[in-house]
Amino acid sequence: MNSIHPFPSPTSTPTGTRASRGLGVVVFLGMVLLTLLGLFFTDEDVVQGSTVRLMYIHVPTAWVAYLAFIVTALTSAMYMWGKQHSLTFDRIAGASAEVGVIFMGLSLVTGSLWGRLTWGTYWQWDPRLTTTAFLFITYVGYLAVRDLGGSHQQRAKRSGVVALLAVLEIPLVHFSVVLWRSLHQKASVLRPNGNVTMDGLMLFTLLFGVGVFTLLFTWMVLHRQRVLALADAIDDGGLEAALQERRNENN
């Protein structure tokens, strides 16, 4: 008899492979190292003091959310314009959007905590914050559109159109600090003049965080799209059983 444990071991999950298990171990160790670097080993900032430690998770979560939504758009396009209209692309799009929503939400929460310490408030209707919240809500909507029902192909086409439109919001969010007057600081690393004014270990920790969170995103999407494949196979099986039952009734 199969039992579902409250905390299943990632090493024995049905969606795991040898490669994904190896990736999972690397991600776990990377997260431990990032936490140690972010909380203990890096220096405090001259201006922001210890609050800069929130940067090492706030920036990577925002980066992963952007990446996730871009992957959703690209794989949606690959489904729509690919010769075989492979549902694997649609499932990667759905998995990536789901993970992106989690990280966008976390970026809003960690940004809100950081804002409380530096600006004195958890929330302001500032251009960057407002456009980010709008992006978050848009992708919650995308996930709702995926759940509207119909065949897998209908789901893929419908959500693919939404994904290709929604991704256009990302440049608006990213450049909102340049286009409008914003409380949020401008880019610290990806500056147009290429001049990075950040201490060596701080910069390393930030880039390391971005790398580790990108690997975490890869691991999560890999597993999630396989879970979605299992769910689709169950749906197909249920549909086939219903059709067979109808055929038997007619005979």
Partner 1 sequence: MDHVQFIVGGYVVTFVAVGVYVVRMLRQARKYNSAISDGDKPWR
Between residue 209 and residue 228, which ones bind partner 1 under the rule CB under 8 A? 216, 220, 223-224, 226-227
User: For residue 156, what is the enclosing H or E element?
Assistant: helix 152-166
Tokens in use for 202?
């701080």
Q: Which stretch binds partner 1 (CB under 8 A): 97-105, 137-145, 164-172, 195-203?
A: 97-105
Under rule CB under 8 A, how many of the chain's residues touch partner 1? 46
d(CA 142, CA 104): 14
- Helix or strand run (H / E) with residue 68: helix 55-81
Q: Is 114 in the site for partner 1 (CB under 8 A)?
A: yes
Q: Could you give the angle at which helices 152-166 and 127-146 cross, rounded to 10 degrees?
A: 170
Query: How many angstroms separate the CA atoms of 127 and 147, rounded?
Result: 31
Q: Would you say 82 or 237 has its CB closer to partner 1?
A: 237
Smallest gap from residue 91 Cβ to partner 1 (A): 12
Rounded Cα distance between 244 and 44, Å, is: 67
Return the residue of 37, 57, 65, 68 that touches partner 1, per CB under 8 A: 57
Confirm or reject binding of residue 233 to partner 1 (CB under 8 A): yes
Helix (H/G/I), strand (E/B), else coil: 3 = coil
CB of 95 to partner 1, least distance (A): 9
CB of 134 to partner 1, least distance (A): 21
Quick note: the x/- pattern for partner 1 over 13-52, rule CB under 8 A, is xxx-x-------------x---x--xx----x----xxx-
**Smaller CB separation from partner 1, 74 or 87:** 87
Could you give the 3-state DSSP secondary structure of residue 67? helix
